[in-house]
Structure 1
Amino acid sequence: MSLPVPLHFFKLAVLVMAMAAVMPAIAQEQIHVPGLNMPVAASTQPQVAAKPTPSPENAPERQDEPQKERKPRLVAVTPGSAENPSVPASVVKKPPVPPVESRQDVVVSSGTNTLIPISRGQINRLVTPFDNPHIQTVSEAEISTSGNVIYVTTQDEKPVTMFVTPEDDESVAISLTLLPQGVPPIQANLILAKNVQGLASGMPITSSTNYSGQARKWERSQPYMDTLRSLMREMALGKLPRGYSFGALTSGNKIPACAQPSLSFDFSKSQLIEGHDFRVFVATAENVSARTVEFDHGSCTHPHRAAVSAWPDEVLEPGQKTEVFIVTRVPTEVPQSSTRPSLLQ
């Protein structure tokens, strides 16, 4: 006995069987698109070569490759002349200006031109050994005097030249060339030298006038003993009192006589410092014995001795040296009104 089959059920069964027969053929024509997990008909897309799927063993290696690429590249650099070339001279056009002392002691002499650096655009001060200096110049710089001091101001880079003479004698002249520079204001103390060894002229200043007016004021501005103490202190510090200048030891000078057992006195390289009322002789003393010796102030004599001292040491060890300062008074000479030559000569 057969049961009646509905017509719609029959149609559904036929459709399922037809799809089962067609699916294997469609699966053979599918292509794989990277990044897309659904099948696509080959008739609607161009054929693309399928890439092989990496195995699990190769997956960690692909992850390590980007990390290696991100590491910085290290390059060893060896220092040498090629890596450190010399700086061309055009880079530094003007060398740095060396430091200049704002206060200078300048030894000058008659007949010799002296170069002195000064400040450009600032006031400069020149202390002369003359009471009332007279100035001869063709420079356009601003020049003024006050007592024995000369003030110079210039805005130009041109050198400032001048002759400086005392008020009452034109036979002695100091020749100066002032060089403007980018330095602080300069104060130059001009010290008049008389036949100092090492100068270009090498000739003594011949003049009837002793230009030590400033020294006279300094010496007589205090009591006699205080003047001697101040004079010794300035000598020990290596300075010259105001108005003092270097002198020359000639054959006619009466040098002090110094003698003491175990000490050797040397006047071969001695110095003579001249003022108005005093002169200072500077020599050396050396201990030539094998024991300690104390310097005796009475070991040095002179007809016009005023004071004697030693610095920096008065107690000398064997082989030790020290400087000896002998201060003498300048004798007052009364000039004769007239002389008569002898007929016997």
Structure 2
Amino acid sequence: MDSYDVDLIERIYTASVIPEQWAGVIDRLSNRMAGRGGSLFLLADGQLSWAAPPATHSVMEEYVAGGWDKKNPRLSALLARAHPGFIQDRDIAGKEYDSLPIVTEFLRPRDILFTAATVIKGARDDLAVFSIDRGRAGGYFTPGDIAFLDRVRPHLARAVALSGRLKMEQAATATAALAMIGIPAAVLRKNHTLYAANALFQDLIGEVFIASAFGRLSLGDPRADRWLKQALADNGRAATTVRSIPINSFAGVIGVLHAIPACHHARDLLGEGGTFLVLAQPKDNSVVDPEWLRWLYDLSPTEAEVAAHLSRGLTVGNIARVRGTSVSSVRTHVKSLLRKTGLTRQTDFIRSVSSLAAISPAILRN
């Protein structure tokens, strides 16, 4: 093994911790194979993600945008073959390869004529598909080329498995941090399945939360359940605003469920469309930092100030006097608050905001 190979393997394990590095790994493999790029497609928890080096990044964007990932017989043939190594697509598709629409309409016009690929199966039906591409000048992959890729494959498999394990541990750590201060919390993936939950949250399954088909969660409170489903659907469309959902039972108020969408670095953990659920109990005489409210609900400075006053128990008239403004102006801000938080009643909003006093902003921001 030469120094180039050692560097490649180091990059592979770095990518298991820093997913943004996968594009560099593909680029390194492609250069070693005298290729013109390649890709990694990862299907985890029903969510598809991909990475590609600069040489083929725009091609992959066109591939996904054109829906070719859903009409690619090469992939289904590769999965059916279940070959424990890299294999050329022509060896999978056989004589029909040159007439496949994906070849004639997409690959050939972009000078992608030869591909070596492998499928790596992870836990819970996760799949990783690594592909290295060559153009006309590169020609077929030789037996020596395939042998080299097969020597690298175990490292790719271990890195993919390690990446999944690290994400699970990070999710568990995030929910455990809130358990230490007595707050039930869980992480949901884009397909609304439970990814991680602390013991306090798990204790509420069957009482507050209902485990439904395919590992999805629903709420026993029908009104709150409709709001939760809407919040999760919005998060799946890359929403960035927290939804706060009051939960009631026959015995009275249970608490407020805050559905926090994945954004910024949290996307590495939850993926696009993931959601962090936090169930908080309202606190008497609680004081919430207006800046905390601005961050959570995307409020203006004035809206955040009005929200903080409401959480302290001030009426609209009191707030108008404190701020030296009209009652109608404060009511306008209150309407905006309700619209941004997805709530319809001022009492629900006050309960939601008051519950946030139990949560440290640093825990969720980090």
What's the TM-score, normalizing by structure 2? 0.22
Write 1 or 2 for the structure with the bigger share of strand.
1
Q: Which has the higher helix share?
A: 2
TM norm structure 1: 0.23
